[in-house]
Amino acid sequence: MYTLKIRLNGTDKNPWHSFGFKQNPFPQIAEAELGPAMNAINSLNGDPLGGPDDIRKRLSGTASEELIELCCAKFRKGELVEFIITW
């Protein structure tokens, strides 16, 4: 069973720039085969998201359609949204 904390950055600034990073460089699940998916999920809390189309673009090819649509539904412009998924 896996648990992930998803953060969607709908604000106008990247919270990782103050550390010199574009996004969180550390995967939540440290398994090599999940590396691309972990980077894509971490990118959602990096540079500000433009909206659902941006989420779809960032997660395309690395996440299920269900996860992509859940992230799109939870996105709020101007807010940092955080939620947890378990599978």
Tell me the per-residue pLDDT of 21-61, one tens digit each, with 9 for 90 and over. Answer: 999 999 888 889 989 999 999 999 999 999 999 999 999 99
- What average pLDDT is seen over the chain? 95
Gap between the Cα atoms of 64 and 34, Å rounded:
13
Percent of the chain whose predicted confidence (pLDDT) is above 70: 100
> What is the helix, strand, coil percentage profile of the chain, to 5?
40, 15, 45
Gap between the Cα atoms of 67 and 14, Å rounded:
22
CB atoms within 10 A of CB 22: 13
Whether the predicted pLDDT of 87 surpasses 90:
no
Gap between the Cα atoms of 84 and 73, Å rounded:
14
pTM of the model: 0.92
Whether the predicted pLDDT of 1 surpasses 90:
no
